[in-house]
Amino acid sequence: MKHFRRLHRWLFAPLVYLAALLLLLEDWLWDLGAALMRRLTAWPPLARLEQWICRLGPYAALVLMVLPAVLLFPVKLLALWALANGHALLGLTVIVLAKVVGAAAVARLYLLTRPVLLTIVWFARLLGWFLALKARWIARLQATAAWRQVQALAGRVRRWRQRASSGPRSWTGRFRRLLKRFRARWRT
């Protein structure tokens, strides 16, 4: 029995890491989409639409949450058809765009309807279970040596970018000096 458990854990581990990476990607897309949609809602018709969405009942809000996935499903099927017929770049582009647009729409809809959706008991339980599962998977991924190496590399890149964007030798500093010289020559 111990041998079976060890084998099961060994075979299942890559799937957990893959799922955790996909969840991190989904989180990034979620944040990106939410920020994008927040900017778009400055447009008055969208602001009125959001006010209407906030007044929906729980099950109408749930149907609205599913709507982007249903509407984008045929688009994704067309992208798969394009991939199958030799249009790899077009198919991948459409799939990525559909994923970003879908994540943006669902992220904004979720933020608008979350208080109403949490009044549905089974939805609240399912959401709690999913968030706990997601946290466990991401913690398991973050406990690996590979994750620590990626984090160390990201820290080095961040420090390099900070050094490159500050100080007199930065490209922005050089650009400002170039503009000053151009302005001085233009005036003379």
Q: How many Å from the N-terminal Cα to the C-terminal Cα in the chain?
A: 87
Contact 80, 99 (CB under 8 A): no
Q: Given its phi and psi angles, is residue 95 left (phi above 0), alpha (psi -120 to 50 degrees) or beta?
A: alpha
- Cα gap 138→22, rounded to integer Å: 10
Instruction: Tell me phi and psi for residue 120, to 5 degrees.
Output: -80, 115
| pLDDT recorded at residue 180 | 78
Cα torsion angle, 119, 120, 125, 129, sign: negative
Instruction: Per-residue pLDDT tens, the chain, 188 aa: give them.
Output: 666 677 666 776 677 677 767 777 777 777 777 777 778 777 888 888 888 998 999 999 999 988 888 888 898 899 999 989 989 899 889 988 888 788 778 888 888 899 999 999 999 999 999 999 988 887 887 887 777 777 777 778 777 767 766 655 566 666 777 777 777 777 76
Give Cα 172 distance to the centre of its chain: 29
Residue 182: its pLDDT value, please?
74
Q: Which residue has the tokens 């992208």?
A: 79
pTM (global) more than 0.75: no
Q: What is the pLDDT of residue 22?
A: 73
Res 122: pLDDT: 95
H or E segment to which residue 88 belongs: helix 88-117
